[in-house]
Amino acid sequence: MGKKNLIQVFEYQKLKFDSKENDFTESHFNAMVKFNEKNDNKYYTIIHRGIKFNSYVGVIQINGLTIEILPKVDKDNSNSELQKQTWQNVLLNMLKVCKHINVDNISETALKKRYNSILEVYFEMYLNEIEELIQKGLIKKYRRVQENQLALKGKLVFTKNIQKNTIHKERFYCEHQVYDKDHLTHQILYKGLKILNSFLSSNLKDKLNRILFHFSDFKEVNINSSHFSKIIPNRKTQPYNKAIDIAKMIILNYSPNLNSGNDNMLTLLFDMNKLWEEYVYRILQKHKPKDYYVSPQNSTRFWESKRIKPDIIIKHNDETYIIDTKWKIVSSYKPSDDDLKQMFAYNLFWKAGKSMLLYPKINQEDSIFGSYHHIPNENEVNQCKLGFINIIDENGLRESKNIADEIFEKFMLVF
């Protein structure tokens, strides 16, 4: 994929098809409109002759064009290549920490490699995983087949035998077992490879063609979500887990023939609000001291059938602390009325002394812990604050341990 086939934008930016600055055409626009309508218009907003992106980041590939939507929380509006590379690396690292790039052997150094788009990371991982499986030897499995035969083998299927062999008495429609490589696991991998074949146009294409040669005798099946639930994990299939996970992402996010012009689309989109919440939880969980307990989204009954669930709960000794993550830029240094009411409910229901609304930092400073006038019990505290955390430095995404330590310290937890 050449640079001219890649458009990189930031969340909440606009992209119009009448611009001479990029290769986004009306055909691409129409395909994106159809895709968004099929998904309740949640991924972006349709504007006059274009798209306005929202909190969803990731990548959309329509035939030869790749649109990468990057997160961004800074005041730099230059749209420079350096800025795009920085935030692409931030997104890649967040996806790795949150296990959306579900391979343990990708190092920080490898993630700093300049990929044209996030999809290329997944494509390369997928091909590497399958290449390794081929080198080890693709496994065989027993499977049941029904077919016409010239000899009675296995169990005769009477109904279909009558339907198909009324004239040809010398044939038998039978069901029997076959032990070979053409089973569901490989058919799923093959389907993922075939989808890649319509999107790859880079140096990965040669590797894809070499791998496809090993799958040339396999049956191509229209795979859907139900097929993945039929795979029964065992010792033999364990090496396939990572490849199957990526195949699932590729297949279930593939939208073929959205237009009469055969505009196939492959999407990989993440809600940045949820990604930020999960990222904060995972780094706190990973770097917490031994006597700390960190849990995500505890839910409890609030009113009638309604429930409330704070993003993250921290417990230390007999104290409870609440974090509500917010992925957006704010100019105020005090919580809004709605946020204060929400955090008050959290404090009350979870008997928490302190709660914090946690935002990515630009140039803000934390507010002080303000006290609610309602104190549940004498000698206890009931407080809330705004907290801001730098997630990037001159090297890109900061070390996760440094971010986690700073968040703990915001509650005045020193260890």
Report the pLDDT value the prediction gives residue 415, as an integer from 0 to 100: 42
pLDDT at 184 over 70: yes
CB 348 within 8 A of CB 377: no
- Mean pLDDT across the stretch 82-95? 90
To 10 degrees, what angle do helices 184-197 and 241-252 make?
50
Cα–Cα distance between 14 and 35 in angstroms, integer?
A: 17
Check if the beta carbon of residue 342 is closer than 8 Å to that of residue 332. Answer: no
What does the chain come to in residues?
Answer: 415
Closest to 346 measured CA to CA, from 336, 334, 356, 337: 356
Distance between CA atoms of residues 114 and 102, nearest Å: 19
Mean per-residue pLDDT, 49-78: 91
Q: What is the pLDDT of residues 318-336, one digit of tens each?
A: 899 999 999 998 888 889 9
The answer to whether 208 touches 200, Cβ cutoff 8 Å, is yes
Averaged over 131-143, what is the pLDDT? Answer: 91
Mean pLDDT of the region 95-101: 88
Q: Are 282 and 402 in contact (CB under 8 A)?
A: no
> CA 291, CA 66: separation in Å to the nearest integer?
46
For residue 31, what pLDDT band results from cuts at 50, 70 and 90?
very high
Domain map (residue ranges) of the chain: 3-137+184-271, 141-180, 288-410
pLDDT attached to residue 113: 56
For the CA atoms of 257, 262, 268, 274, the dihedral, rounded to the nearest 10 degrees, stands at: -60
Domain 288-410 part of CATH 2.60.40:
no
Q: Report d(CA 173, CA 163) in Å as an integer.
A: 9
The predicted structure's pLDDT at residue 105: 47
